[in-house]
A and B are shown apart, each in its own frame.
Chain A
Amino acid sequence: MNVKLHKLIGTAVLGLSLFANGLPAGAGTVSHPQVTVGTSGADGSMAGARYSADSQQYIGCRFSNTTGPYVICLARDSAGKSLSCAGFESRHLAAAKAITDFSKISFGVTPGTASCSRLAVDNYSYHLR
């Protein structure tokens, strides 16, 4: 009886250890929007794109300040549709620098050009993985 009890406790401890290591206490509001690409804009979260079921999605920006502000944002949705825009103003650079690993990014393209009309970066708790 005593041996059985020990085994039972051992099994329970093993199960709890594995459970505790792997599954975070996932409470709180969660939102990981995947990438959507329209004709004049794109948006999506870094986590939603990276951990999506397909192997197409991505969203992000690259930036530099070497010869003045320079930002290029790119996105591709699950269907392979992509959109990009470029911004050369301080406001574009300021927004791009706010991007973290778990941001939600949204950008717009001025119709008929490749210029960014807007760039929004959301850093909220519910976008964390």
Chain B
Amino acid sequence: MKTNLKKALGLAALSVTLLANTIPTWAGFVTTSLVSIGGNQVSRWASGSMEDARYSADSRQQIGCRAQILSTYSWTTCYATDSAGRTLLCGSGDWKFLETLRGMTDSSQIYFETNSTGSSGACTNIVIANSSDLLK
């Protein structure tokens, strides 16, 4: 009985040691950027990081953009849903927005604006941020 207990404790110690070595204690400056949607009387905006949306506690949040090149024109769209289920979509055929999306990564923080007070409208601004504090 005593031997079994010793063995069990030994195994547990081994496991903990190995686990402790495999999970690094990450520090560094960190920013959490969950999806938020806001607006005023003339426009609406959405903001959030890809990773914080993907790994948020709820199952609603999402944010992202699509860069689409068709036969004669481009069509860029950005879409966001916050934790309350509010959504915002913007779309534009302006190449300048497609250019911006080319700098997106898996950890990017996205900010976009529409000229509408509804849940969708034309894109009036798209900003991408790539920074160490957004990495998981």
Contacts and interface: CB of A to CB of B under 8 A. Distances in A.
A81 interface: no
Interface residues of A, number: 43
> Per DSSP, are chain B's interface residues mostly helix, strand or loop, or mixed?
mixed
B37 interface: no
Contacts of A64: 100, 125-128
A14 B15 contact: yes
A46 B125 CA distance: 26
A15 B14 contact: yes
Interface residues of B, number: 38
Given A76-B29, A100-B105, A101-B106, A62 B18 contact: no
Contact of A49 (B14, B99, B132): B132
Contact of B131 (A11, A45, A61, A97): A61
Nearest to B29: A58
Interface of A: 7, 11, 14-15, 18-19, 21-23, 35, 44-66, 74, 76, 93, 96-101, 103
28 contacts: A11-B11, A18-B15, A21-B22, A22-B23, A45-B132, A46-B132, A49-B133, A50-B26, A50-B29, A50-B132, A52-B27, A53-B27, A54-B27, A55-B28, A55-B29, A55-B30, A58-B31, A62-B109, A63-B129, A64-B100, A64-B125, A65-B100, A76-B29, A93-B99, A93-B103, A97-B103, A101-B130, A101-B135
